Amino acid sequence: MVTTPNGSAAQPLKFLIYGRTGWIGGVLGKLCEAQNIEYVYGSGRLENRPSLEADIASARPTHVFNAAGVTGRPNVDWCESHKVETIRTNVVGTLTLADVCREKGLVLINYATGCIFEYDSEHPLGSGIGFKEEDKPNFIGSFYSKTKAMVEDLLNNYENVCTLRVRMPISSDLSNPRNFITKITRYEKVVDIPNSMTILDELLPISIEMAKRNLTGIYNFTNPGVVSHNEILEMYREYIDPNFTWKNFTLEEQAKVIVAPRSNNELDATKLKNEFPELLPIKDSLIRYVFKPNRKTPVA
């Protein structure tokens, strides 16, 4: 149930979720089932306003979740050669959904990205000084990130939107090709840079709680602290495959095999941690939610 400001019970929760075929959208549905929250997936195209209005009229939701968007397949390099398609979904579609939700008096939980920043002189790598919610994006190296920074700035004018800056998402499903751990274990070579990351097993249930609390505004939606590629792969070797090996290469070497530069940063998770004090630091969350449940090596 949603409670009203005076504490009385309001209508039961019902979520309208966009992104049924996506990773986050699929997990959200399972979480709703586990919590006995009624939900439906939207069938409308985000850029098609009448189709969104029809979804809302049919579902009569209490909250809307947007886990739809173009990230590109197999990666964000796709967006560099499909700019109009990227704009259509990531900018026009997201803004249309936010606008329709505002018109209907609905909170929109929008899964966005924190890949709109890069380490700089005020937020140096290894300093522990992370980018805050109110900081202006400084990374537009990829067209994907450029569209995401653009839409975040515009969405900030919508008082009904909760923007969650997800980064390098990880889950306990190590077979999922979208999982950051799965990606880097399959790469021929990896860079080794500390980054803020999002452990979905811990944070997606928190996003449902954020909807229940009707929270809005921007949140750095990452676990506190940073973890590097090598630190993750060392955990993988310790818990999953003791024979696993990998090779590192530099950012300069990486640049030769990718089309668009990649974002590396630390986000300050203080705002989220203040709202949810139980939130685990990134390395603790990795062990609890990802590596221990998947352990294949014998316990020492």
Quick: pLDDT tens for 246-286: 999 877 777 676 656 678 999 999 999 999 999 999 999 99
Round the average pLDDT of the chain to a whole number and report it.
92
Residues 156-168: what's their mean pLDDT? 97
Note whether 119 and 261 are within 8 A (CB): no
Q: What confidence tier does 8 reach under pLDDT thresholds 50, 70, 90?
A: very low
The whole-number pLDDT of residue 273 equals 98
Tally the C-alpha atoms within 13 A of residue 5's C-alpha that lie toward its C-beta.
Answer: 0
Q: What percent of the chain has pLDDT over 90?
A: 80
Amino acid at 139: F
> Mind listing the pLDDT tens digit for each residue in 72-117?
666 677 888 889 988 998 999 999 999 999 999 999 999 999 999 9
> Mind listing the pLDDT tens digit for each residue in 214-223?
999 999 999 9
Q: Which of 169, 167, 188 is nearest to 177 (CA)?
A: 169
DSSP string, the chain: -PBPTTS-B-SPPEEEEE-TTSHHHHHHHHHHHHTT-EEEE--S-TT-HHHHHHHHHHH--SEEEE------SSSTHHHHT-HHHHHIIIIIIHHHHHHHHHHTT-EEEEEEESTT---BTTB-TTS--PBPTTSPP---SSHHHHHHHHHHHHHTT-TTEEEEEE-S-B-S-TT-TTSHHHHHHHSSSB----B---BHHHHHHHHHHHHHTT--EEEE-S-SS-B-HHHHHHHHHHHT-TT----B--HHHHHTT-SS------B--HHHHHH-TTPPPHHHHIIIIIITTT--SPP-
- pLDDT of 4 strictly over 60: no
> Mind listing the pLDDT tens digit for each residue in 10-44?
679 999 999 999 999 999 999 999 999 999 999 99
